Amino acid sequence: MNKTVNPKDLTSDDDVGPLYAARKKVYPQSVQGTFRRIKWGLMAFCLGVYYFLPFVRWNRGLGAPSQAVLIDLPNSRFYFFFIELWPQEVYYFTGLLIVAAVALFLMNSVGGRIWCGYLCPQTVWTDLFYAVERLIEGDRRERMKKDASTDPMKLERISEIVLKHSIWLLIAWWTGGAWVLYFNDAPTLVKELVTFQAPMIAYVWIGILTATTYVLAGYMREQVCTYMCPWPRIQAALTDEWALNVTYRYDRGEKRTSVKKAAELRALGEQVGDCVDCYQCVAVCPTGIDIRNGPQLECIQCGLCIDACDNVMAKIGRQKRLIGYDNDINIQRRQEGKAPIYRIVRPRTIAYSAIIAAVGGIMIYVLATRTLLDINVLHDRNPVAIKLSDGSIRNAYTARLLNKSGHDRVIAIDIDGPANATIHVVGADSVTPDRPMIVIPRDSTSELRLLVTAPAESNPEKSIPVHFHVTDIGLGEAASTIDNFVAP
């Protein structure tokens, strides 16, 4: 039977079995317990934040949007409570992405797929859709019976189905609707949406997100986690022997048998485990697997099987947590009769926490020291330096002045470079002796051409630094930058 096949002999004819398999529908049963409560709580929190955040107001003064969280695409601005980001500041998002990725690693090294089981949008919405389904069509057994039934459809059944899909679509539509509110003033957009005055693109996006929510949470469900999401594969490579994963403690569970039989066998002095083979853990599993087969790719570690088994154990008076969050090392140790050990603080978690703290710290520092006035200067490359008729040397620069504040500013530009050097700004609005001034409208950038001239006698031998200072005449707010002054 166990015939070895030489790869060279293989032809396509050797492929056997079906090319594809129909999906086996999963009918998770409802369950109560610690982890289910945590999941309800987190679901309420996540959905609450997602649906209502756009309506939170934030006063930024006249002319500025008063929405706490707003992605203003037409004006290329991002508002997050007291923070306003410009396109030049995308590095904050880079920082955020780094923190998010490392936080995922950290979660993973502490408690396995906490993200998958409790926080992932796919999990949250699927859970919500299951709740609706259960409310209308009943629990696992009822649903299975109804789906398997070959009776002609009764009005009651049809109305059930219609009701379920209507509620699903309603949730999906609200999900898509909330999405677009992040891109526009929410109350205004809601008004426009209901009066059909909103831009086409808003309706298109609501349509797309309604469809994806409905299909992914209503139909695809665990298939998304198993076949579409890359994280299970990545996670498998990131986990280690200390990570707490949902685990069936087979050292305690085997061999499985009924309560009655177990008592009999025990009396005979045979080794039996605590698992009574009731399949409750399988019945509640939203991905339809049997955790007792060991760690599996499909397991999103939602902890529902822990609750299910705990309930069984409580009923038959055995110790809880036959299934629990545990690590690989303890399975080994318990088999050897040693006490389990848990270690959350270890090099890996310290490293991840340090990275998060470092990147987060840098971001907070940069944010805290960020000015609403800024200047960037670029030295002209062609020509680098110009000799003037009186022998003095001039360097030209392209400057970008940023006024991120909500009011127009009068800005003076000073330099600090070669001795007696003067600055000229092409198109300056006014010039007091050697001090060009320029008006920058609120919330905008101005590109300026700066000419710095050093008299012949102070011509530098080599390139020397030159500082550019910009000062708001009214408020005194200042910014500066540095470049070089070179002789030909």
For 405, residues 6+ apart whose C-beta sits below 8 A from its C-beta are: 372, 373, 442, 443
Give the shortest CB-227-to-another protein separation in angstroms: 6
10 burial level (CB within 10 Å; 0-12, 13-18, 19+): exposed
Instruction: Provide DSSP, 110-122.
Output: HHSSHIIIII-HH
Give the position of tokens 């056997």: 16
- Of these, 140, 321, 400, 424, which contacts another protein (CB under 8 A)? 424
CA angle 81, 85, 89 (to 5 degrees): 145
Question: Mask of contacts with ligand SF4, 146-185, x by CB under 6 A?
Answer: ----------------------------------------
User: In the bound complex, what is the minimum distance in angstroms from residue 187's beta carbon to another protein?
Assistant: 33
Q: Do the Cβ atoms of 257 and 61 come closer than 8 Å?
A: no
Binding ligand SF4 (rule: CB under 6 A), the pick from 69, 289, 399, 454 is 289
Please state, in angstroms and rounded to a whole number, the distance separating the CA atoms of residues 469 and 478. 7
Give the residue from 189, 50, 75, 206 showing the smallest Cα distance to 128. 50
Cβ proximity to ligand SF4: between 216 and 425 the closer is 216
Query: The dihedral of CA 399, 405, 406, 408: what is its sign?
Result: negative
Residues 402-428 as b/e (b if ≥16 CB within 10 A, e otherwise) read bbbbeeebebbbebebbeebbbbbeeb
Answer with the entry of ligand SF4, another protein, none that 4 interacts with (C-beta below 5 to 8 A by kind).
another protein
Instruction: Identify the CA nearest to 443 among candidates 77, 34, 57.
Output: 77
Please give the structure tokens belonging to residue 395. 């360097």
Query: Shortest distance, CB of residue 162 to another protein, whole angstroms?
Result: 24
Nearer to another protein, 66 or 446 (CB): 446
| Residue 327 found at the interface with ligand SF4 (CB under 6 A) | no
Chain positions 207 to 226 lying near another protein, rule: CB under 8 A, are: 220, 223
Q: Is 447 in the site for another protein (CB under 8 A)?
A: yes
Instruction: Please report whether residue 359 would count as binding ligand SF4 according to CB under 6 A.
Output: no
Q: 480 with 487: CB under 8 angstroms?
A: no
Pattern of binders to another protein over 389-408, x per CB under 8 A?
Answer: xxx--x-x------------
CA dihedral 253, 257, 258, 262 (to 10 degrees): -80
Considering the rule CB under 6 A, would residue 305 count as an interface residue with ligand SF4?
A: yes
| Interface with another protein, residue 336, by CB under 8 A | no
278 interface partner picked from ligand SF4, another protein, none, CB below 5 to 8 A per type: ligand SF4
Which does residue 287 bind out of ligand SF4, another protein, none, counting CB within 5 to 8 angstroms by kind?
ligand SF4
> For another protein, which stretch binds (CB under 8 A), given 7-15, 68-76, 399-407, 463-471?
7-15
Residue 11 interacts with which of ligand SF4, another protein, none, CB < 5 to 8 Å by class:
none
Residues in 453-482 at the binding interface with another protein, rule: CB under 8 A: 456
Segment contacting another protein by CB under 8 A, of 167-175, 375-383, 415-423, 471-479: 375-383
Q: Are 136 and 147 in contact (CB under 8 A)?
A: no
User: Where do contacts with ligand SF4 occur on this chain (CB under 6 A)?
Assistant: 246, 248, 253, 275-281, 284-287, 289, 291-292, 299-305, 308-309, 312, 322-323
